[in-house]
A and B are shown apart, each in its own frame.
Chain A
Amino acid sequence: MASENVTSVEYIQHHLQNLTFGLHPENGWSIAHGAEEAREMGFWAIHLDTIGWSVLMGVIFLGLFRKVANSATSSGVPGGLQNMVEMVVEFVDDTVKTTFQGPHTRSPLIAPLALTVFVWIFLQNSLKLIPIDWLPGVFAKLGVDYMKVVPTTDPNATFGMAIGVFCLIIFYSFKIKGAGGFAKELSFTPFNHWSLVPFNLFLEVLQLLVKPISLALRLFGNMYAGEVIFILIALLPFWIQWTLNVPWAIFHILVITLQAFIFMVLTVVYLSSAHEKH
């Protein structure tokens, strides 16, 4: 639904621009007007839309689950919402249990972490199923120029979560294996020989660093690509859009669930390997 006075390139760029608030070298703390100003702000800027929507989704998730948790009783027949929540919880619990098999005890953080990752990312991704011009349109009417709704199409969001997971990997590696054990694992795998310690170290540290990067980039890449396709479809004449939009949206019901699931499973797997002593 490109307006007549906007070119396709401008339309796409506009849709991919976050609402940025930051320290501009000339304007001071302000909301960026356009991509140029946003870039000039450098690191000291924040994407209000990304943070806003992701926090909103997080609050919806926790509010909903907390409400069910409050009313959840073992007696009585569970209602629809409670059934759904319990299904999700059991599903996550099963996944965590099957991944965490072995002698090492599981930290009580893991399962709630997996649940949060799964549902939160699912909700953030699902914002994508709202037609791409609705929310930006509403915000444009309210005087907000830029609105990139789906938080997971912003690498800041996906890397933010991946960094959280990475910190936990490091934390549990130290906690379970101890500093010495962790260092030994980094130095003597995969080749258990003193002469190969530098090589091992290089490999293992790389492997460690690749974990959060792959987590973040996989989610970001999938969501961003999907979003771009949606924007491209939106450039077509309105009477033909549905022929592409509907199948793509239906396909994305699968993608958003799958990506949330993959992020959760990989998080659990990484933390499980952080728990394992070699």
Chain B
Amino acid sequence: MNINLTLIGQTIAFAIFVWFCMKYVWPPLIQALQERQKKIADGLDAASRANRDLELAQQQANETLRESKEQAAQILEQAHKRSNQMIEEARENARLEGERMIASARSEIDQEINRAKEELRAQVARLAIEGAERILESSIDEAKHRELVDKLATEL
């Protein structure tokens, strides 16, 4: 337990170790620690940013979905309206066509009636003439009495 040169030896060793530690051990370790700290902080930051982005994207997606639903509903409604309109038009057309057909049939019938009347009239005239011929027992000059007969026919 004597105090001797060991004292100075230990002091020198101490100084050298501290110098070495300061020069070659401490700075790289502290730098690595700080860099990792920064990296972790950045990572956490990025994660929270990504979360926010995701939220935003979801919101956007919801918005788009809502819009497209609305549009679809609109289109459907228009289609309904259009189909109703088309049915209405078709019905109208059918009605008009039917009326037109009825009118033409009616006019045709009228014509038929008229023609039948004419025919009848002509036949009646001839019958009348024939009857008259028979009654008179003499032939009538057809040319001479044509006017008279026609007048008779019209009166029928």
Contacts and interface: CB of A to CB of B under 8 A. Distances in A.
Nearest to A72: B32
Interface string A207-222: 0000000000000000
A43 B13 contact: no
Interface in B1-34: 1-11, 13-15, 17-18, 20-22, 24-26, 28-30, 32-33
Nearest to A89: B29
A51 B21 contact: no
Contacts of A113: 18, 21-22
Contacts of A50: 6, 10
A149 B9 CA distance: 16
24 contacts: A45-B2, A46-B5, A51-B13, A54-B10, A62-B17, A62-B21, A62-B24, A65-B21, A66-B25, A69-B28, A69-B29, A72-B29, A74-B32, A86-B33, A89-B30, A109-B22, A111-B30, A112-B22, A115-B25, A155-B1, A156-B9, A157-B6, A160-B13, A161-B10
B29 A85 contact: yes
B39 interface: yes
Contacts, number: 134
A70 B2 CA distance: 41
For chain A, what secondary structure do more than half of its interface residues adopt (helix, strand, loop), or is it mixed?
helix
B25 A112 contact: yes
B35 interface: yes
A69 B25 contact: yes
Contact of B14 (A22, A39, A161): A161
Nearest to A151: B10
A195 interface: no
Interface of B: 1-11, 13-15, 17-18, 20-22, 24-26, 28-30, 32-33, 35-36, 38-39
Contacts of B14: 116, 120, 160-161, 164
Contact of A45 (B4, B11, B26, B39): B4
Interface in A100-135: 108-109, 111-113, 115-116, 120
A73 interface: yes
Interface string A68-106: 111011110010000001100110010000000000000
Contacts of B25: 62, 65-66, 69, 112, 115
A73 B35 CA distance: 8
Contact of B4 (A44, A55, A73, A163): A44
A47 interface: yes
B4 A93 contact: no
A70 to B, nearest CB: 7
A41 interface: yes
Which 5 pairs of residues, A with B, have the shortest CB-CB distance?
A160-B10, A74-B35, A156-B6, A112-B22, A72-B32
A73 B32 contact: yes
